[in-house]
Amino acid sequence: MTAVLEAEGLGKRYGRRWALSECTLSIPSGHVVGLVGPNGAGKSTLLNLAVGLLAPTQGSLCVFGNRPAADPAQLARVGFVAQDTPTYAGLSVADHLRLGSQMNPKWDNQLAESRINQLGLDFKQKAGKLSGGQRAQLALTLAIAKRPEILILDEPVASLDPLARREFLQILMETVAEHQVSVVLSSHLVADIERVCDYLVVLVSSRVQLTGELDELLSTHHRLIGPRCDPATLPANQYVVEASHTDRQSTLLVRSDGPILDPAWTIEPVSLEDLVLAYMGQGKALESGRRVSGGGEQ
Amino acid sequence: MIWLAWRQFRLQTCVAVGLLVAVAIAFALTGPHNVHVYDTVVRTCASRGDCPSVTQSFLGRDHLLRDLSLAAILIPVLVGMFWGAPLIAREMETGSFRLAWTQSVTRSRWVAVKLAVVGIACVSVAGLYSLLVTWWSSPFDTINDNPFSIFDLRDIVPIGYAAFAFALGVSAGVMIRRTLPAMAATLVAFAGVRVAVTQWVRPRLISPLHHSGPFKLFTTNGSPAFSGKGAAGAWITSEVTYNAKGKVIGHNGGIGANGGVNFQPVGNSSAKVVLQGVGQCPNNFPNLQRGVNRSNQVSHAMSEAVNKCLASFHLRDAVTYQPVSRYWALQWYELSIFIVLALLLAGISWWWVRRRLN
């Protein structure tokens, strides 16, 4: 499987603050990838780097093996919907489609027009007068009708109400099914990711904490509840992500490739939300550990 | 891409074209008539001997439109503030650059096309306006016969100013990334550069000519002392007055700190007079009521007494000037300076968007 997006030691600094540092990840093609992480994890920075709006301070990032935004051909392969879905407030919907057709060689005008009709948008309406949901749909239409090979969406539904959010994701899914386009979608809402994604990347303070196909991740993680024990005593093929203890009882979230054989444990499946939260918690712990040791060196 | 640059700029273009057309109509309705009056009445005044009254009344025509022609000085700075500064700053402010830069057009091309389309519009508007004003004002300018006093408002230099102001606005917008502060910066920087060029660069573009002669207030025909070759309509950049010992005693045709030429009677005697800052005149003056200066209409006897007094002190006047024959050379030089500055700033903006807005 080839990688659509590959980062190696990627870092981006604003003044003295690192928005992303030493990020290494590889995203295979043909997936709808959900990029989740807490606010400030560097999701938006990573995606802006991937479309060439930002240039890395260190490390490298390749999309389809090329530098992002290197030339018109590379730009044509990547569709992008930016955070808060910016459009030109003074230009009408029809003007936006014209913009798309003028600025993209592979522009599919039929697709764009049928989408706008389907959404019930008025072609003469100024983009500044559209609702948040309609504007997001317009931005998505522009990105889709460009006929890219990968669609990158940066928190596209963050500011939408639940209904608009559902509609937006619905259209996104139809497009993926119709045009076989890879998607990378960032969100901090696990429910959205669960609805549309089949591949997960958890990013916590620039580090990839977890990556893999959603089904596989869910089937290899278990919640174990049993008498209090030391997590270090578990078999070698069981990796403890999160552990909590009461006086008598231990609750563990473990990753295990094989079946859990110890009859002392009650085994429960893990929801995606619990899984993501567990890895985020682990990332935070690692991060604070790094900070402490960093402080000691100075 | 050209379409987008034009579409975003459509409203401004319509406003500019509308105003240009309105001004052109006003000028077209009055201009030919003015030219006709000038040709039939003013130009033939010498034969009738009524030149002063005829020119006076001609210069009183169309005051409103002549004030409007002064707008030529504002057009470049307006263009810089309202077309240049927001060109890219507004895209940064609203976030729309993230839509534009992720279409299949590279950022370099996007900036280059925007700069070219709007830049050409700026230059065209300034050029057309200057052409209209120069044509319409020509009878008045001929009468005033002082082309350097309206150097900034006529002919080709306004094109250079507009190009420069536009590029300055774009650069300020690109660097500051916010429209309003960029507009303010454009205004301040443009005014600064214009003043600096007018004060220090323009007088030195071509090595100026010098004229030195006795300091006089009135000559026989009543015109100022400076009457060397090319004196008519010349641009006097400096004028220094020396006393007999070669010490500087005044500037710009005046003597002393207050810049005037003052004769004061001594005590109650009206015949004895002191030239302030120099000394007492050896000759007697006719009945002197008050101090005189160059612009006063005075009697023949008075002007003779004044010149006799001045001559006795052996004061000299050194004038540095550009003759009127250099008007067009200076126009071209100044246009070139501002065009080069504009291209430089456009290049910086282009580079900045490519390399620094990351």
Question: What are the pLDDT digits (tens) for B179-212?
Answer: 999 999 999 999 999 999 998 888 888 888 887 7
pLDDT number for residue B257: 66
Select from A86, A91, A103 the Cβ nearest to the Cβ of B103. A103
Question: By the CB < 8 Å criterion, does A106 face chain B?
Answer: yes
**For the ranges A134-138, A176-180, B165-169, the one whose mean pLDDT is highest:** B165-169
Pair of tokens at residue B303:
């002007």
Q: How confident is the model at residue A293 (pLDDT cuts 50, 70, 90)?
A: very low
User: From CA B7, how far away is CA B335, in angstroms rounded?
Assistant: 30
pLDDT number for residue A188: 80
User: Chain A: residue nearest B355 by CA?
Assistant: A55
Q: How confident is the model at residue B295 (pLDDT cuts 50, 70, 90)?
A: very low
Question: By the CB < 8 Å criterion, does B108 face chain A?
Answer: no
Give the domain ranges of chain B.
Answer: 2-205+328-355, 216-314
Amino acid at A60: S
Q: Span A114-141, mean pLDDT?
A: 91
Q: How confident is the model at residue B346 (pLDDT cuts 50, 70, 90)?
A: very high
Interface list for A 81-100 with B (CB within 8 A): 82, 84, 86-91, 95, 98-100
pLDDT number for residue B222: 36
Using the beta-carbon criterion (under 8 Å), do B358 and A55 form an inter-chain contact? yes
User: Chain B: residue nearest A80 by CA?
Assistant: B102
Supply the mean pLDDT for chain B: 83
Alpha carbons within 13 angstroms on the beta-carbon side of residue B288 total 27
Helix/strand/coil (H, E, C) string of chain A? CCEEEEEEEEEEEECCEEEEEEEEEEEECCCEEEEECCCCCCHHHHHHHHCCCCCCCEEEEEECCECCCCCHHHHHHEEEECCCCCCCCCCEHHHHHHHHHHHCCCCCHHHHHHHHHHHCCCCCCEHHHCCHHHHHHHHHHHHHHCCCCEEEEECCCCCCCHHHHHHHHHHHHHHHHHHCCEEEEEECCHHHHHHHCCEEEEEECCEEEEEEEHHHHHHHEEEEEEECCCHHHCCCCEEEEEEEECCCEEEEEEEECCCCCCCCCEEEECCHHHHHHHHHHHHHHHHHHHHHHHHHHC
Nearest alpha carbon to residue B57 among B125, B2, B113, B139: B139
Question: What are the pLDDT digits (tens) for A124-133?
Answer: 999 999 998 8
pTM of the model: 0.86
Residues in Cβ contact with B184 at an 8 Å cutoff, skipping those fewer than 6 apart: none
